[in-house]
Amino acid sequence: MRKHYLDNIRWGTQIIVVLYHVFFMYNAEGVSGGLGRITQVDVQYWDIFMYIVYPWMMPVLFMVSGICAKLYLDSHTDGEFIRSRTVKLLVPSTLGLFVFQFIQGYISMSMGGAFDKGNGLDEVPGFVKYIIMAFVGSGVLWFLQLLWVLSVVLVLIRKLEKGRLWDVGAKANIIVIAILSLLVFGSAQILNIQPITVFRVGLYMCAFLLGYFIFSHDEVMELLKKYFPYTAAVSAALCIAFCAVYFGQNYAEAPCNRSLLYTMYAYFGCMAILGGTARFADFENGFTKWMNKRSFGLYIFHYMGISAVALFIAKPGLLPAPAVYALSLVAGFAVGFGLNAVISRIPFFRWAVLGIKRKDKKNVR
């Protein structure tokens, strides 16, 4: 039986990702990667949205991916798992860079002034520029790249533990689940690849493996459903504390993103989302089915729409800030869904950019 709450967490979180990237693009908190502040106000209080969602936003996606990996491997071999993950994750995040995502690289580099005269790219051959743009265009695809690596690591771990560790995970009670937050805190301190702050291998590997070994058990999920009011209350309290302590600081870098408060909020936020969605949103209807089929494409393409508005509208100051925010939000969804609809129907491109295999043509959307 399909666990619809996992699908609903996935597409729901990806909507949060689109909203997050709109605020991130014009943030005034020193978080690099976007265009930056486009207002004249002293404090952009709306930037607090980023502090509310960032700690748990990606960890919950890795946890869900870990749970889904267990469900897939229950009926497929390790080889089939790796082949499917290679097509769906590795191909779009490597070959897809050179087939399509170099466009995102051009937009991002242009936004940062890389092509301005005197910035060193004037004399660089066009083919070299294309390669640079392809790598820069990886953008949000880091999630796919890291998830593929973790999938390979999982297969190796499975060969060693032979199901024993998974069996132990079924015995986790609510006390053990709470204590696991310390493991998350420890994992946040290691394998942080600099200067690319999103590659928090330790933290995301921990979330992925917890999803596989702990939260893939129906017994454990029943506990999260039962204790949802408590995990939600703890998460809300930690959210308020985290925002009060760190608002105005760069939440995406150390020491903030390795702090105890950050990791506790990230973990209990994930527990509340898993338990609450499993309890109240384990269903499928026309809308959720539609969103689930298109959420991957939304994730792949949304940032192109947001960054294009930043480059061509916000950077030259063609519209006031409120209009830029609104247009960026619309562009994120319109370009995300629009490019998904187009690319998914073009032979080769649907495989290289979206990981849609030939036999999956009936699922083109």
Give CA 134 to chain center in angstroms. Answer: 20
Reported as a pLDDT band with limits 50, 70 and 90, residue 248 is: very high
> What is the spatial distance between Cα 350 and Cα 185, in angstroms, rounded to a whole number?
39
CA atoms within 13 A on the CB side of 193: 9
Tokens, residue 228:
């949802």
> 110-122: buried (b, 16+ CB within 10 Å) or exposed (e) per residue?
bbbebeeeeeeee
- Burial (0-12, 13-18, 19+ Cβ within 10 Å), 155: middle
User: pLDDT tens, 288-298?
Assistant: 999 999 999 99
Which pTM does this prediction carry? 0.95
> What is the spatial distance between Cα 158 and Cα 166, in angstroms, rounded to a whole number?
9
Instruction: Map out the domains of the chain as residue ranges.
Output: 4-363
User: pLDDT tens, 204-225?
Assistant: 999 999 999 999 999 999 999 9
User: pLDDT tens, 120-148?
Assistant: 787 788 889 999 999 999 999 999 999 99
Q: What Å distances lie between residue 213 and 45, 101, 104, 205, CA to CA?
A: 39, 34, 36, 12
Q: Is the pLDDT of residue 242 over 60?
A: yes
User: pLDDT tens, 6-44?
Assistant: 999 999 999 999 999 999 999 999 898 899 999 999 999
Q: What is the pLDDT of residue 361?
A: 52
Q: Is the pLDDT of residue 364 over 70?
A: no
Q: Is the pLDDT of residue 365 over 60?
A: no
Nearest CA-CA partner of 104 in 352, 325, 305: 305
Reported as a pLDDT band with limits 50, 70 and 90, residue 359 is: low
